[in-house]
């Protein structure tokens, strides 16, 4: 009883403190003066427009999109979904090389291209033609951001150096994806798997006994595009204060390494002792000097593994990821029919279980093999055991809930017909993404010249007649 008094007194003190802090917050919100960040006076009054009808997050931002293949287009597609006007500049006659890669419908843009270039407009410009440069200059003056992922030096060779761009438009943000940041490899051309290898993903992926593995998730390309998009949005925000643009660089090696952060964590831990959560520890296999491949071990402190489910003999995806999370160990024992393990000192604690994980997962698998992965999901989720079904792409494509949220979307295209794509994975209540089909090559050339850049009809004709916007006619050139 004697102890209760000080507790009450403490509670009372906390209440007073809370009241004080509430008062303080109210006072700050009411003040007319700008606070330390100068924020309160800069924001407009909250709009009264219905949610989703007050424009999109990036409405009014225009992007000069010089990107190609996957990394850059991922970035600009995200910005386009958020409402930016993305003007994709493509080489006349050729366009983004992916238009013609992995073609599944003859004569139509490939899925590779269409699925990375939604909500954009396309203009064809030969950047090495004087009249092409005239159009580019106008676009640089007009746009907020230039995004590119050419090989190192290509933008400079076009004459579009930072100094040149910054002089034309000091507010322009110039954002680039490159394979490597400054250093010994900065001049290298880089594709997805090169980045996965150089960023530490491949050396830490796969099974201990096997070679390094690359993953199906495009962490080098799409992952870096995501990083770049964040950099661009932050640069736009900073520009609100500084009034000037800046260079933004996302190197693919850096982006992959950022996603492999937990492995750099483990590199430092391994120098101090074994990585006890890796199943190799339980199996008594000594560690080397670098982080090993961890198979399907979970990256965190809770042991996990992929287990066979009913039908695994014929279905390559009849598997489930099963986590033996400590707080639900008792439930796991009940579910798999080993209630004795709840109190058996050999199994009752996480420490006791560590060296026996192989045996434990084999026992759990005896149980999961009697159920489909969805039955395992249902049974385990009811008692909070974290499990995840291995979903095939077919199952994902057909999953009604993903269609409902717009994460998987059906899009119609004039030359290829209907196809499925991944919609914007970021959901916002006031900036709702609609997925519009990718543009045909040069589809918006005229409207961009006239409506965006304000060229008069005679100027448009002059630029067009110069050949700067169309594929070179080789026979004529040779003659």
Binding site for ligand COA (CB under 6 A): 69-72, 89, 91, 125-128, 149-151, 154, 157-158, 177-179, 189-191, 221
Closest CA relative to residue 379, chosen from 322, 429, 422, 421? 322
- Nearest distance, CB of residue 356 and ligand COA, angstroms: 44
The residue number with the shortest CB distance to ligand COA is 151
- Give CA–CA dist 388/374, Å, rounded: 9
Look up residue 244 and give its two tokens.
């000037």
State in angstroms the smallest separation of the CB of 136 from ligand COA: 9
Q: Which is nearer to ligand COA, 219 or 364 (CB)?
A: 219
In the complex, the smallest distance separating the C-beta of residue 95 from ligand COA, rounded to whole angstroms, is 9
Is residue 344 part of the annotated active site? The answer reads: no
Reference 209, options 302, 298, 321, 285; nearest CA is 285
Tokens of 263: 């492995």
Cβ-Cβ contacts under 8 Å for 306 (sequence gap 6 or more)? 296, 319, 320, 321, 322, 390
Decide if 216 contacts 192 (C-beta within 8 A). Answer: no
Backbone angles phi, psi at 86, to 5 degrees: -100, 115
Q: How far is the CB of 237 from ligand COA (least distance, A)?
A: 24
**What are the DSSP calls for 113-154, one per residue?**
HHTT-TTEEEEE--TTSHHHHHHHHHHHHH-SEEEE-PSTTH
Residues 6+ apart with CB under 8 A from 97: 68, 69
Q: How many CB atoms are closer than 10 A to CB 444?
A: 18
Q: Which is nearer to ligand COA, 83 or 132 (CB)?
A: 132
Q: Give the nearest distance from C-beta 461 to ligand COA in angstroms.
A: 21
Element housing 422 (H / E): strand 417-422
Catalytic hit among 126, 221, 254, 297:
221
* Residue with smaller CB distance to ligand COA, 80 or 228: 228
What are residue 121's DSSP bridge partners? 87
User: Smallest distance, Å, CB 125 to ligand COA?
Assistant: 5
Q: Tell me whether residue 171 or residue 464 sits nearer to ligand COA (CB atom).
A: 464
| Residues 32 and 39 sit within 8 Å (Cβ to Cβ) | no
Residue among 9 and 94 whose Cβ is closer to ligand COA:
94
- The position carrying tokens 């950099």 is 231
Nearer to ligand COA, 100 or 300 (CB): 100
Residues acting as catalytic residues: 221
């Amino acid at each position: 009883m004697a102890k209760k008094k000080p507790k009450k007194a403490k509670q009372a003190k906390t209440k007073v403190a809370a009241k004080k802090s509430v008062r303080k917050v109210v006072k700050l919100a009411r003040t007319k003066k700008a606070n330390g960040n100068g924020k309160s006076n800069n924001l407009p009054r909250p709009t009264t427009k219905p949610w989703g009808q007050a424009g999109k997050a990036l409405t009014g931002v225009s992007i000069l999109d010089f990107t190609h293949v996957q990394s850059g287009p991922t970035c600009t597609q995200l910005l386009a979904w958020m409402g930016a006007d993305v003007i994709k500049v493509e080489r006349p006659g050729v366009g983004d090389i992916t238009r013609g890669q992995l073609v599944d419908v003859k004569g139509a843009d490939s899925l590779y291209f269409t699925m990375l270039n939604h909500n954009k407009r396309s203009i064809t410009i030969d950047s090495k033609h004087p009249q092409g440069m005239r159009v580019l200059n106008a676009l640089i003056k007009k746009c907020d951001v230039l995004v590119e992922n050419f090989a190192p030096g290509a933008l400079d060779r076009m004459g579009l150096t930072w100094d040149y761009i910054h002089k034309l438009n000091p507010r322009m943000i110039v954002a680039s994806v490159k394979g490597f940041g400054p250093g010994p490899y900065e001049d290298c051309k880089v594709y997805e798997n090169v980045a996965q290898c150089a960023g530490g993903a491949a050396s830490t992926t796969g099974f201990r006994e096997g070679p390094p593995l690359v993953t199906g998730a495009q962490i080098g390309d799409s992952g870096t595009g995501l990083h770049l998009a964040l950099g661009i949005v932050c640069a736009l925000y900073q520009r609100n204060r500084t009034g000037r643009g800046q260079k933004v660089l996302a190197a693919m090696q850096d982006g992959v390494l950022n996603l492999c952060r937990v492995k750099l964590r483990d590199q430092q831990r391994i120098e101090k002792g074994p990585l006890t959560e890796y199943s190799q520890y339980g199996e008594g296999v000594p560690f080397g000097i670098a982080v090993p491949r961890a198979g399907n071990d979970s990256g965190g402190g809770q042991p996990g593994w992929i287990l066979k489910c009913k039908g695994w003999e014929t279905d390559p995806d009849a598997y489930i990821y099963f986590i033996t999370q400590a707080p639900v160990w008792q439930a796991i024992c009940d579910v798999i029919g080993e209630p004795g393990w709840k109190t058996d000192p050999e199994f009752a604690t996480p420490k006791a279980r560590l060296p026996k994980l192989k045996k434990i997962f084999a026992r759990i698998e005896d149980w999961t093999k009697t159920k489909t992965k969805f039955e395992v999901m249902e049974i385990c989720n009811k008692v909070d055991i974290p499990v995840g079904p291995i979903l095939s792409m077919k199952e994902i494509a057909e999953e009604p809930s993903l269609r409902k949220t717009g994460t998987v979307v059906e899009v119609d295209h004039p030359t290829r017909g209907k196809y499925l794509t991944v919609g914007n994975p970021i959901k916002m209540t006031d900036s709702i993404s609609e997925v519009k089909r990718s543009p045909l090559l040069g589809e918006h050339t005229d409207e961009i010249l006239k409506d965006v850049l304000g060229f008069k009809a005679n100027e448009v004709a002059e630029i067009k007649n110069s050949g700067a916007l169309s594929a070179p006619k080789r026979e004529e050139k040779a003659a």
